[in-house]
Amino acid sequence: MRLWTLHPQYLDAKGLVAAWREALLAQKVLQGATRGYRNHPQLTRFKAQPEPVAALAEFLRGLVAEARRRDYEFDATKIAASAPVARIPATRGQLQFEWEHLRRKLAQRDPARLAGLSKVEKPQPHPLFRIVPGAVESWEITD
């Protein structure tokens, strides 16, 4: 499971679809509708929010917006009804770690997309997150 701090605009088609599916699974976990993945580290920052399901719903809405921009059809009715939430702080180190992680993935599965991102010096975060100084998040698995 990967709930990207990165803006979904950087994901290739396979990555965007995977992010959508994984975030829907995360939503079910936070709703208590599944037994698996309850302690997955990627859920840590959502669980720390006053309204975890609402925060995850906002994350999903960001994915839907990117999917619509690309003329993909993600079923937004699968997103839990919720009010907008405050942006979640995420560290610059986490964003950079994910940027390098994505670049490695794209080098293998979509070199053309990677080449198209070569001029990006400071990747943007998903709209849910606001970037603050700091290292890679403690919950991230860096091995």
Q: Where residue 40 falls among pLDDT bands split at 50, 70, 90? A: confident
Question: Sign (positive/negative) of CA torsion 53, 54, 58, 64?
Answer: positive
Q: What is the DSSP letter of 122?
A: S
At 42-74, the pLDDT tens digits run 899 999 999 999 999 999 999 999 999 999 999
Report pTM: 0.94
CB-based contacts of 3, cutoff 8 Å, min separation 6 = 19, 22, 23, 26, 42, 43, 46, 59
How many whole angstroms separate alpha carbon 116 and alpha carbon 10?
10
**Confidence at residue 141, expressed as pLDDT on a 0 to 100 scale:** 86
Mean pLDDT score of the chain: 94
At 118-136, the pLDDT tens digits run 999 999 999 999 999 999 9
Higher pLDDT residue, 25 or 84? 25
Mean pLDDT computed over 23-31: 95
Beta bridge partners of 6: 125
CB 22 within 8 A of CB 2: yes
